[in-house]
């Protein structure tokens, strides 16, 4: 027994010496430039840029394997700071205006109906796979928080069975867009604007039968803000044309909507 203890102790001592020598002579000094550049990035490690995280993306930037605009979370100010750090022309790195996620549905459980009681996995894709989902409107938000769980900034919350984005916290990563099985999430300009929170292309009578806050196809928004809104879905669904500037009379447009599906976002810039 004594000899075994001595042998084990000797092995442990040898391993300790080896590890100490390895730490001394094989240690890689920190990359100060990499750490400084990583500190300029958002730090969400969302992976949308194509890297494994912000540190990996910083390494890609230093190797000129990526451009600052590849990070959608960075606003113009951050992109300019990164460009100055890298010594490249900031003007070349200016991206489009900041965008935020928008759930194109206002059909909460307070105004919309459900066809049956779903008792499966709390996941929108799983719920959608069961008979097309329990929501009576087959174009509406299922409300099982899959997008909220995917959001690294915790900018999405569930309100009475429908997902709502906090524009002030949205970092424009776009991860929520891919998670929605009904494709209800759009990236829209963050400026003050009016949005149609309905995705149903059905006729008004059908929409009204399943949701009290849906587009009736009345064209009031198109009449009151020509160019800013257009009719899609066979002419029964109004939609905001974001290629056009926001309408100046957003309050009028909202007030004229009988379905109360036109809502106003306060710009977060």
Distance CA 204, CA 113 (A): 16
Distance CA 261, CA 198 (A): 6
pLDDT of residue 51: 86
Question: Which is more confidently placed, 147 or 171?
Answer: 147
pLDDT of residue 149: 96
Q: Does the pLDDT at position 269 exceed 70?
A: no
Q: Is 211 exposed, middle or buried (0-12, 13-18, 19+ CB in 10 A)?
A: buried
| Complete domains list, the chain, with CATH | 32-93 (1.10.15.40), 99-265 (3.30.70.20)
Q: What is the 3-state secondary structure (H, E, C) of the chain?
A: CHHHHHHHHHHHHHHHHHHHHHHHHCCCCCCHHHHHHHHHCCCCCCCCCCCCCHHHHHHHHHCCCCCHHHCCCCCHHHHHHHHHHHCCCHHHHCCCCCEEEEECCCCCCCCECECCCCCCCCCHHHHHHCCCCCECCCCCCCCCCHHHHHCCCCCEEEECCEEEECCCCCCCCCHHHHHCCCCCEEEEECCCEEEECCCCCCCHHHHHHHECCCCCCCCHHHHHCECCEEEEHHHCEEEECCCCCCCCCHHHHHHHCCCCCEEEECCCC
Which of 12-16, 42-46, 97-101, 143-147 is the least confident region? 12-16
Mean pLDDT along residues 168-192: 92
Mean pLDDT along residues 133-138: 96
Mean pLDDT along residues 193-221: 95
**Cβ(210)–Cβ(113) below 8 Å:** yes
Residues 6+ apart with CB under 8 A from 19: none
**Cβ(167)–Cβ(265) below 8 Å:** yes
Mean pLDDT along residues 205-210: 96
The rounded mean pLDDT for the chain is: 87
Q: Does the pLDDT at position 268 exceed 60?
A: no
**Cβ(103)–Cβ(179) below 8 Å:** no
Position 97 confidence tier, pLDDT thresholds 50, 70, 90: low
pLDDT in tens, 8-46: 777 877 777 777 766 666 655 667 888 888 999 988 888
Distance CA 83, CA 222 (A): 42
Which of 100-109, 134-143, 164-173 is the least confident region? 164-173
pLDDT of residue 94: 46
Q: Does the pLDDT at position 77 exceed 50?
A: yes
Position 127 confidence tier, pLDDT thresholds 50, 70, 90: very high
Tokens 């001592």, located at residue: 13
pLDDT of residue 7: 66
pLDDT of residue 90: 57
């Amino acid at each position: 027994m004594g000899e075994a203890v001595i042998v084990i102790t000797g092995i442990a001592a040898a391993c300790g010496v080896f590890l100490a020598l390895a730490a001394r002579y094989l240690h890689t000094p920190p990359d100060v430039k990499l750490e400084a550049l990583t500190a300029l990035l958002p730090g969400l490690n969302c992976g949308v840029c194509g890297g494994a995280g912000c540190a990996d993306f910083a390494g890609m930037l230093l190797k000129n394997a990526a451009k600052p605009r590849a990070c959608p979370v960075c606003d113009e100010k951050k992109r300019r700071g990164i460009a100055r750090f890298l010594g490249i022309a900031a003007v070349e790195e200016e991206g489009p205006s900041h965008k935020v996620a928008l759930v194109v549905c206002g059909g909460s459980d307070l105004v919309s109906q459900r066809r049956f009681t779903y008792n499966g996995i709390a996941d929108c894709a799983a719920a959608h796979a069961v008979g097309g989902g329990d929501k009576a409107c087959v174009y509406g938000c299922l409300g099982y928080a899959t997008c909220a769980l995917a959001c690294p900034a915790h900018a999405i919350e569930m309100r009475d069975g429908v997902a709502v984005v906090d524009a002030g916290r949205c970092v424009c990563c776009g991860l929520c867009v891919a998670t929605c099985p009904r494709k209800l999430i759009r990236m829209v300009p963050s400026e003050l604007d009016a949005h149609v929170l309905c995705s149903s292309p059905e006729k008004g009578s059908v929409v009204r039968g399943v949701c009290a806050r849906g587009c009736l196809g009345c064209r009031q928004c198109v009449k009151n803000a020509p160019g800013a809104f257009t009719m899609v879905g066979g002419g029964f669904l109004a939609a905001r044309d974001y290629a056009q500037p926001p309408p100046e009379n957003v309050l009028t447009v909202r007030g004229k909507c009988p379905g109360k599906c036109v809502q106003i976002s306060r710009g977060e810039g």
